[in-house]
Structure 1
Amino acid sequence: MSAYAFFLTLVLLILISAFFSISEIALTASKRTKLQVLSEKGEQRALKIMLLKEQPGNFFTVVQIGVNAVAILGGVLSEGALNGYLRDAVLPFVAPAAAERVGSIGSFLIITVLFIQFADLIPKRLAMINPEQVALRIIEPMLMCIRLLKPLVMVFNGLANLLLRLCKLPTRSIEHVTSEDISAIMDAGAEAGVLRKQELHLIENIFELESKNITSVMTYRDDVVYFTIAGDEKGIREKITARPHAKYLVCRDDIDNVLGFIDSKDLLQRVANDDFSSVIRNIEKFYNKKLLVIPDTLNLSEALARFKEARENFAVIINEYGLVVGVATLNDIVTALMGSVIYPSDDEQIVKRDDHSWLVDGVTPIDDVKKALQIEELPGEGDYETIAGFMINALKRIPKKSEAVEAAGFRFEVVDIDNYKIDQLLISRLS
């Protein structure tokens, strides 16, 4: 073989091997979400790629046939031509036996380096830069190769599927897109400057609707303002003046005997008509009995669905014993969704004192504490919902002031407690 023919053959083999290498990476790394977007824009090749990815055995078989066939031909070329060229080149300087070894080793090294560099590494790195666009360009030639090599593909693919089934292994890949995957994409978009910080927070909060319980946003029973049927006018006026709200519970004698609620706008109308005193004296005739009651086991997403079904924006939260644990409004859920975006500094439950310490309200949801402190896991998760619950779970009793617990590289110390209720904690990073 002449040197010119040898060079052309070598270049052709490298190009063929590079095609199979770049095809393998492009078809494997291309993301289904991006392909679906391209398909919706009318790109038919994207649909072909998705169909091929559902049965990856076909193109993997073609790739392996092509790569191995080229490797064998490259070895033959190395042994038959390049070996002789190198041997003849060094023969005037060394003994014939040594020249033979130099030719054999040299041809092996040269062919190996050329194929690794130009037929494998560089094509694969190029394909990884934008796999979807590369896949669009190589899909038609790859489908042609699959059709031409169909008999071999059927044989090798059939044998591979048989062995996988015997080993009880899946023969097809199933892509599952999880909330973690989407969050990772959003984080990457924020780092690249595609998403603003507020948009990233909003998306993260949407996913947290499934993980946060309704009790994390409700007003706890100790803070709920309610009227009783036997309440006097002066007491009710003082409650309205001291703690104005949009809605007030109406109870028989205590908060666990809820009858309904009364809307502040109805009271305002009565005040405007000088009829407020009659409402108070006959409050059982004016309150709204259509009260939404939801269990405290619902997450925010489920609670939002209940608000939508009932067409209400106010609900009483009860536990499994039928006792009232608090009240929640639709606005509470919206605030949980939008609060960190619209009101980043209002009513903060976690206040950062310095780089190593935080003041935290006892009712702060444990997920918010973990997120703020970048804690992966705390002991006993699932047995409590708030940071106060974490302290009680860790100590196995109601803590006293100044008692502390160390966990996950932090020290959790009770700094304020009110009649068995943990009001505030100091969290410090351990050195």
Structure 2
Amino acid sequence: MSPAASLVLIALLVVASAFFSLAEISLAAARRLRLRQMADEGDARAQQVLQTQEQPGDYFTVVQIGINAVAILGGIVGEGAFSGPISELLGSWLSATTAATLGFWISFLLVTSFFILFADLLPRRLGMAHPERIAVRVVGPMRWCMVVFRPLVWLYSRSADRLLRALGWSSQRDDRITHEDILAMTEAGTLAGVLAQREQQVIVNLFELDTRAVASVMTLRERVAYFLRDDPDEVIRVRIAAEPFSTYPVCEGDIDHVVGYVDAKDLFQRVLNNQPLSLRDDALLRKVLIVPDRLTLAEVLEQFRQAHEDFAVIVNEYSRVVGVVTLNDVMSTVMGELLGPADEEQIVRRDAHSWLIDGVAPIEDVLHALQLDELPEAGEYETMAGFLMVMLRRVPRRTDHVVVGNYKFEVLDVDSYRIDQVMVTRLEPATAEELAAQAFRAGSE
């Protein structure tokens, strides 16, 4: 074969190898969500790619047959095309044996480099950059190749399937999407500028609804504004003025015996109509939703949906009222912009290395503020105060502190065994180690 014909044949082999490389990487990298969108828009080729991804065995068998066959032919043709002329050129300065050896190696390097660059690297990078666009273009020719090479495809595919089964592995592609996949996609979208940081945080917060307990966002029992059933008109008016809320539980005797709730709008309506305020009037009372304190926020949302309510009383296993929660409380954990003034003050950053945190601050919010993944004994507490009680194994006193990692948690104020404020300070590594050693020595003594 003449050198010119060999060069033409090598160029054709490079094109064929590039085609198979494009077909392989584009099918593997093509995103199913994007392909489904293309199929919904009327691109029948996208549907073919989706079907191929579900059963890719025969497709990749054709790819490997093509790539290996082209590589073998390229080596045979390339060695004959370049080694002779190169050896003759080198023969003018070197011995025949040395010239032949060098000619072979130079020819080998030329052909190999040509295939690596134009038949492998460039096609694969192009396929990774535009996988869906290329996959829909090559799926038709690849299906034709699968028909042409059917006997070989059947032989190699069945052999590979039996080997995989013998090893206990599955050849089926797992396309299940987990919430980790979605979060990773949103993070990538944020880095690429497609999503704003605030939008990405909203998505992260949504997934936390399934793991975050309702107790982390409820208004604690001590802070609940409620009415007794026999409160007179004057008491009701004074309490509304002192503690203006949209909803008030109504109790019989004490807060643990909730008989319903009253909407502030109904009370205002009566005031405007110069009517007396009496909670003995059943027309004012509404049936209250009672939910356990072990529910997650997602479960509470479902309870709100089923009951068509946006207010609930939280009780523990002893039927003792531990707090109340509203739809706004739940949604504020998602949106992050609906927090009331009292919530905004739960975590206050004093400077670059210290925070002032309320004892009832949800531990999830503390972790987010401190940029920590978790704290010790996770799952044993839900608030900042609970964390300190678990770590100290007693009711904390003023000036008590705990060092975790590079953070020092110090109790600043305690009111009737209730932790009001905690100072969190980020320490230098050496300081943190020294404080931890002191705490260990104190515990030993």
User: Where on the TM-score scale, by shorter chain, does this alignment land: which range?
Assistant: over 0.9
For residues 108 and 90 of structure 1, the distance between their equivalents in structure 2, rounded to whole angstroms, comes to 15
Q: Who is 1:2 aligned against?
A: 2
Aligned partner of 1:31: which letter?
R
1:413 aligns with 2:410: yes
Q: Who is 2:348 aligned against?
A: 351
For residues 348 and 64 of structure 1, the distance between their equivalents in structure 2, rounded to whole angstroms, comes to 63
Matches within 5 A, 1:280-429: 283=280, 285=282, 288=285, 290-340=287-337, 347-429=344-426
Offset, 1:342 = 8.4
Offset, 1:422 = 2.0
SS at 2:76 equivalent? helix
Aligned partner of 2:267: which letter?
L
SS at 1:38 equivalent? helix
For residues 177 and 402 of structure 1, the distance between their equivalents in structure 2, rounded to whole angstroms, comes to 48
Q: Deviations over 1:343-385 (max 9, x none)?
A: 8997243222222222222222222222232212322212222
Comparing 312-321 and 71-80, the one that deviates more: 71-80
Aligned partner of 1:334: which letter?
M
Q: Who is 2:255 aligned against?
A: 255
Q: Deviations over 1:191-239 (max 9, x none)?
A: 3332334433333332222232222221111111122235455544432
For residues 100 and 167 of structure 2, the distance between their equivalents in structure 1, rounded to whole angstroms, comes to 47
Moved over 6 A (4+): 341-346
Q: Who is 1:126 aligned against?
A: 126
Alignment gaps of 5+ in structure 1: none
Q: Who is 1:185 aligned against?
A: 185
Offset, 1:38 = 0.8
Contact 1:198 1:341 in 2 (8 A): no
Contact 1:260 1:287 in 2 (8 A): no
Cα distance change, pair 341–99 in 1 and its aligned pair in 2 (3 A): farther
- Give the structure-1-normalised TM-score: 0.92
Identity %: 45
The size of the alignment, in residue pairs, is 428
For residues 395 and 128 of structure 1, the distance between their equivalents in structure 2, rounded to whole angstroms, comes to 54
Cα distance change, pair 137–104 in 1 and its aligned pair in 2 (3 A): same
Matches within 5 A, 1:187-202: 187-202=187-202
SS at 1:276 equivalent? coil
For residues 337 and 200 of structure 2, the distance between their equivalents in structure 1, rounded to whole angstroms, comes to 11
For residues 169 and 341 of structure 2, the distance between their equivalents in structure 1, rounded to whole angstroms, comes to 50
Matches within 5 A, 1:62-211: 62-211=62-211
Q: Deviations over 1:163-184 (max 9, x none)?
A: 1111211110111222222222
Contact 1:267 1:276 in 2 (8 A): no
Offset, 1:53 = 0.6
Contact 1:10 1:74 in 2 (8 A): yes
1:41 aligns with 2:41: yes
Give the CA RMSD over aligned residues: 2.2
Comparing 23-32 and 376-385, the one that deviates more: 376-385
For residues 295 and 351 of structure 2, the distance between their equivalents in structure 1, rounded to whole angstroms, comes to 36
Aligned partner of 2:291: which letter?
I
Cα distance change, pair 342–36 in 1 and its aligned pair in 2 (3 A): farther
Contact 1:218 1:327 in 2 (8 A): yes
For residues 4 and 341 of structure 2, the distance between their equivalents in structure 1, rounded to whole angstroms, comes to 72
Offset, 1:267 = 2.4
SS at 2:367 equivalent? helix
Offset, 1:140 = 1.1
Q: Deviations over 1:290-337 (max 9, x none)?
A: 211111122222111111111112111112222111111122222222
Comparing 348-357 and 148-157, the one that deviates more: 348-357
For residues 341 and 45 of structure 1, the distance between their equivalents in structure 2, rounded to whole angstroms, comes to 46
Q: Deviations over 1:227-270 (max 9, x none)?
A: 22354555444322211222221222221121212222332233
Comparing 166-175 and 365-374, the one that deviates more: 365-374
Cα distance change, pair 342–37 in 1 and its aligned pair in 2 (3 A): farther
SS at 1:62 equivalent? helix
Q: Deviations over 1:9-41 (max 9, x none)?
A: 111111111111111111101111111111111
Q: Who is 2:437 aligned against?
A: none
Cα distance change, pair 338–47 in 1 and its aligned pair in 2 (3 A): same
SS at 1:423 equivalent? strand
Q: Deviations over 1:258-291 (max 9, x none)?
A: 12122223322333344425x15xx274552521
Cα distance change, pair 332–157 in 1 and its aligned pair in 2 (3 A): same
SS at 1:71 equivalent? helix
